[in-house]
A and B are shown apart, each in its own frame.
Chain A
Amino acid sequence: MLVVGLSHRTAPVEVRERLAAGADALPELLARLASRRELAEVMFLSTCNRVEVFALPKAADGVDAALAAIRDELAHHGGAVSGDALAAYQYQKRDEEAVRHLFRVAASLDSMVLGEPQILGQVKEAYDAALAAGTLKSLLGRCVSRAFAVAKRVRTETSIGAGTVSIASVAVELAWRVFGGLGDHAVLLVGAGEMAEAAARSLGNGARALHICNRSFDRAATLAGTLNASAVPWDSLAAELVQADVVVTSTASPTFVVTHEMVKRAMKARKGRTLLFVDIAVPRNVEPSVHGIDNVYVFNVDDLEQEVARGMKARQAEREAAERIVDDEVAQFLAWTRGLQVQPTVVAMRAKTRAVLLSELERSLGGRLKHLEGDRAALTQMVDSAVNKLLHAPTTRLKARAADGDDAGELALAIRFLFDLQEVGVAPEGESSSDAVPDAVGDEPLPH
């Protein structure tokens, strides 16, 4: 298995955005990649932080050609970015490292924000798109679906997704701790900058009402239009404090915009109803003593960042445990794929043994067997049982040798020689191409 791509770790956003592909562009892109004779299976993952192509080469000795084909297609897709320029930002991994990379990506261990849950959904979308385009068959498909299981295991067995790790999500968390939900509460945005917008997008979602109050009414009205909110004039800020339950402040004012006296008066008019301030402005917009007023809570950017840092620290502490799970899953997956390499030999050995036994049975009973329909089923079952018992030990030992990573090729070769399997048309191990793999994959359960 292979992966070629670039991510937030290796490429700036200007490069990533050139290679990104939306849902509409994916079918064509996948079709083009799949049409390359070097590639047997392909999946294209495109998020705001990464663009990656996961693929299975058509032939075991065609890995370099497959990598080159993917790089070509990426360069072609990137358009203005030349292949050479792209190479500086790209990474490529193969075999164990590629599997590990996919598992780590799905488990959000390679994300910009460790443990963020969106990436798993994005990998699922890429998987669905590849399935719909018919570019995923069995081996890569099984690897991706295994990656989902790994991500789930990491989330269940560690606290990698716990805590809040962005200012906006901390603000939402605070609003929950104070109000439970914002369905019955109004949010007031004081200021209309980028930070305010980001917080408003999180907080305003689900709030009863979202009002935007800015010194420039036009700017407030423009932002209100994009957020499905209503703009209010700057002069009515004091009156708005009576109506709002959550106030997000982010103006560039060098002095306090919300003062102690202002809030004191508002609280009297509110009859003591709880009021939450999320002050993300620097310098601060809300006078610190406001936090001392009964039923009023003020959290500034330091408080929020402290919580973000705590969340990040908690997640980092879980990284080691998560990496151990990934290592364990990679080992299991590789053992399973190694087992697949001897699968054609196992299938051929069993088929030949069964054919010989059935043939001998026919010969011994002569023409009588065709007249004994009831006994025929029982006799066939007996032959199957004999095949199972006879070949159980060689089958399990061959698979165990392959799963352990030992060279099972020689053993498989010996079996083919001893059983004279060439006669039943089994391809040599080295040529157990991806064409042969899908059928075998379907029969062989992944270890748990």
Chain B
Amino acid sequence: MTIDLANWLFVATAASYFAASVIFIAELLGRAGRAGPWAARLVALGVPLHAAQIVVWSLVLHVCPVEGIHFSLSVASMLACLAYVLARLRYRVDVVGAFVAPQALAFLLASRFVGPVNDEPRLRSALLPFHVAANLLGVALFTMAFAAAVAYLLQESRLKHKRFAGASRLPPIDALDRAEHGFLVAGFPLLTIGILTGTLWAREIEAGGAAAIARACLSYASWALIGGVLLLRAAAGWRGRRAAFGTILGFGLTLLVLVTYLVRSFGQVAAPGGVPA
């Protein structure tokens, strides 16, 4: 019964995100018609379904949702959608959903097919839930910042080339810039906590493999890059294009860190019982 419920919630969530993605893309192409406003509503519908799915599925598997990569992707995408729903109350950034909804769908589907939870006692630590939770929230907010940055660059290109036709389908460029900055400001402290707890955790478990070092380097680089974007904006007025490119790069590095976790997870699937790097 519970497994059935979890599966039903999974399908309903995926359907919501899928429908929202289709409508968002149609909206960008100017073909959504009256369905346009439903895209954001479907994302808002997907969030509680997704949260319920995570809770039920974690009860079925008897695991904490913020431990291990298994649920992390799913939780991160749910949080990104929640951030989107909340951000719409403050910023005119509906179109950001065109990036958030497909990503949420992809992460939700990916969470279904990645390997089992790493339950190796050696990796257990009191810091781990803080590390994962901070990183997940951070990734969710950076996803929003990334989406706003991409939309900004599209809108900026249209305005600079004086192509008015599609410009009205995107939010005002200033609103996108402010939204992107807002998400970065909110996400940066979380990223900082994630990196601090991650460093302490790595020290605790004496991690020192090549993959762990690479992951740490990528994390530090993304932290420095996003910190730099925020600092330059405050000190030297780096806004608009430069800030958008910096945000996209920073998000890319953060995503790479996630990918290294994923690769490790797939490695475990390929070689069950193997010790992760």
Contacts and interface: CB of A to CB of B under 8 A. Distances in A.
A88 B177 CA distance: 59
A297 B239 contact: no
Interface stretch (A73-81, A175-183, A230-238, A352-360): A175-183
B264 interface: no
Interface residues of A, number: 22
A294 B241 contact: yes
Interface string A426-443: 000000000000000000
Contacts of B159: 177-178, 297
A303 interface: yes
B213 to A, nearest CB: 37
B172 A179 contact: yes
Contact of B237 (A272, A291, A297): A272
Contact of B172 (A180, A267, A299, A307): A180
Given A294-B240, A294-B241, A299 B162 contact: yes
B174 A274 contact: yes
B239 A291 contact: no
A297 B175 CA distance: 15
B239 A272 contact: yes
A271 interface: yes
A153 interface: no
B178 to A, nearest CB: 9
Interface string B243-271: 00000000000000000000000000000
Nearest to B232: A272
A297 B160 contact: yes
A177 B168 contact: yes
B241 A177 contact: no
Contact of A295 (B162, B164, B168, B239): B239
B238 interface: yes
Nearest to B165: A310
A307 B164 contact: yes
Most buried by B among A179, A180, A273: A180
B88 interface: no
Contacts of A371: none
Interface in B130-169: 155, 159-160, 162, 164-165, 167-168
B182 interface: no
Contact of B160 (A177, A273, A291): A291
A273 B236 CA distance: 11
A294 B242 contact: yes
A203 to B, nearest CB: 15
B152 to A, nearest CB: 11
B162 A180 contact: no
A219 interface: no
A124 interface: no
Contacts of A303: 162
A177 B176 CA distance: 11
A306 B165 CA distance: 11
A299 B158 CA distance: 13
Contacts of A307: 164
- Specify the main secondary structure of chain A where it touches its partner: helix
Residues of B in contact with A, size category: 20 to 34
B237 A178 contact: no
Contacts of A93: none
Interface string A272-308: 1110000000000000000100110101000100110
A212 B237 CA distance: 27
A155 interface: no
A268 B236 CA distance: 8
Most buried by A among B92, B167, B237, B242: B237
Contacts of B36: none
A58 interface: no
B237 A268 contact: yes
A267 B240 CA distance: 12
Contacts of B236: 271-272
B241 A176 contact: no
Interface string B99-129: 0000000000000000000000000000000
B57 to A, nearest CB: 40
Nearest to A179: B174
B242 A274 contact: no
A137 interface: no
Contacts of A268: 237
B237 A267 contact: yes
A270 interface: yes
Contacts of B160: 291, 297
A327 B167 CA distance: 35
Given A299-B162, A310-B164, A177 B237 contact: no
B103 to A, nearest CB: 25
B20 interface: no
Contact of B173 (A178, A267, A272, A291): A178
Nearest to B243: A272
B228 interface: no
B276 interface: no
Task: Please name the 5 residue pairs, one residue from A and one from B, whose CB atoms are nearest each other, closest first.
Answer: A271-B237, A272-B237, A180-B172, A272-B239, A295-B240
12 contacts: A173-B168, A179-B174, A180-B92, A267-B237, A271-B237, A272-B240, A273-B239, A274-B173, A274-B174, A294-B241, A297-B159, A310-B165
